Amino acid sequence: IDIKALRGATGGITTIDPGYKNTGSCQSAITFLDGEKGILRYRGYSIEELAEKADFLETAYLLIFGELPTKEQLAKFDSDIKSESHVDEDMKKILDGFPKSAHPMGVLSALTSALIAFNPSTVNVDSEEEMYNAIVKLLAKFPVLAAWAMRKKKSQPLDYGDNSLGYVENFHKMMFSKPNEAYTVDKEIIAAIDKLLILHADHEQNCSTSTVRIVGSSHAGLFASISAGISALWGPLHGGANQAVIEMLEAIKNDGGDTKKYMAKAKDKQDPFRLMGFGHRVYKNFDPRAKIIKVAADEVLGQLGIQDPVLDIAKGLEKEALEDPYFVDRKLYPNVDFYSGIIYRALDIPVEMFTVMFALGRLPGWIAQWREMRLNKEPIGRPRQVYTGENLRAFKEVSER
């Protein structure tokens, strides 16, 4: 497409497309998604194969730089990230200022923004080298902040991590280590988190990613763009759905487990209730991530010997929806958020941290999209509107109104 020919069309026709349901905002070589067939690929690799064989850090490298890393490239990437994992002591004063009741997503967004003050070199970045330095700083510090947000919630002392551990294991340690106890974790738990993070790592031009690109398009720095993306992700129609799903499943359980009652509520147009974790703007078939996560939920709960009644409720809702003309006609299937919370819960991750887990997973995708946007020298994002307000009016003094 000759994008230049489409640029600067002042005085031409303005299309209006609420929610950008049919508007492409950019050209991108990162993630391929076929919503009709339920296909998702990162840089050409199927999500099924990556979830099975890759780890999160190499998936991050793939998304950001376009190719799977060689052993040497991965080792350098890992050590560059580790060398940047320190978070300034003064950041803790900001953390201390939050009430315990603060939602971890609000804390994470604010702390990511606050990081800018301590890392000014990440703001005006133009060269690939400057971008790389900003990227490794963020990949290094973000899991620290995410773990801090949980520690704050639980009023627990902070853990400083251990750079001899892998990226995901170190994050797990920062969340779950106990004072005066040697930290150990089953490799199955780390594998489950790795898989969930990979499945969340990118999803082309969704609400939070479009936010990151549009904020970054003003040449605001990487951290500011990501902080805005975190805020966008928080909403229950987007990443916040994973928290809303588990709260919904709990409510159904506490209400006697009557799934039919909630199916009826979801179909009632007078009732604002929606079946959380169902439906997707692009998938009009099974969300391939949901398929993998559903299998993983069975595996993880089996390995940990956990029987969670909400998993049965979730499966019951899915079965009913697949046979219900309302859901079938509208092509509403479980999305990525429907089963993920059941795994997070089994791993002892608090409900309010679910969307933070999503944010950590999505971080490489946001970064890759921001980098692509800057390297492609995209123009500032600035949609037009169709004005529906008053025509010219004469001002009246307050005494005359």
Within 286-345, the residues that bind ligand ACO by CB under 6 A are 330, 332, 335-337
Please, where are the H alpha helices in 285-385?
Answer: 288-304, 309-323, 325-329, 337-346, 354-375
Residue 253 or 331: the one with the smaller Cβ distance to ligand ACO is 331
Tell which residue, 389, 247, 208, 361, has the closest CA to residue 293: 361
For the chain, the farthest-separated pair of C-alpha atoms sits apart, in whole angstroms, at: 76
User: Is the Cβ of residue 145 or residue 332 nearer to ligand ACO in the bound state?
Assistant: 332
47: Cβ contacts below 8 Å, ≥ 6 apart: 40, 41, 198, 199, 288, 289, 292
C-alpha distances (whole Å) from 4 to each of 23, 151, 205, 292, 355 are 17, 49, 21, 41, 38
Cα–chain-centroid distance for residue 179?
30
Q: Could you tell me the two tokens for 329?
A: 């006609």
Q: Using CB under 6 A, which residues numbered 157 to 216 contact ligand ACO?
A: 206
CB atoms within 10 A of CB 164: 8
Q: Specify whether the CB–CB gap between 326 and 269 falls below 8 A.
A: no
Q: Which CB atom, from 152 or from 238, has the smaller least distance to ligand ACO?
A: 238
Instruction: Please name the residue that has the structure tokens 């106890």.
Output: 181
Find the shortest distance in angstroms from Cβ 393 to ligand ACO: 35
- Residue 219 annotated to the active site: no
Please tell me whether residue 281 binds ligand ACO under the rule CB under 6 A: yes
Choice between 135 and 359, CB closer to ligand ACO? 359
Residue 354 within binding range of ligand ACO, rule CB under 6 A: no
Residue 79 C-beta: closest distance to ligand ACO, Å: 32
Out of 82, 86, 265, 274, name the contact with ligand ACO by CB under 6 A.
Answer: 274
18 binds ligand ACO (CB under 6 A): no
Interaction mask 224-263, ligand ACO, x per CB under 6 A: -------------xxx-x----------------------
Binding mask 49-88 for ligand ACO (x = CB under 6 A): ----------------------------------------
Q: How far is C-alpha 237 from the chain's CA centre?
A: 12
Catalytic residues: 280, 337
Give the residues lining the site for ligand ACO (CB under 6 A): 19, 206, 237-239, 241, 266, 274-281, 330, 332, 335-337
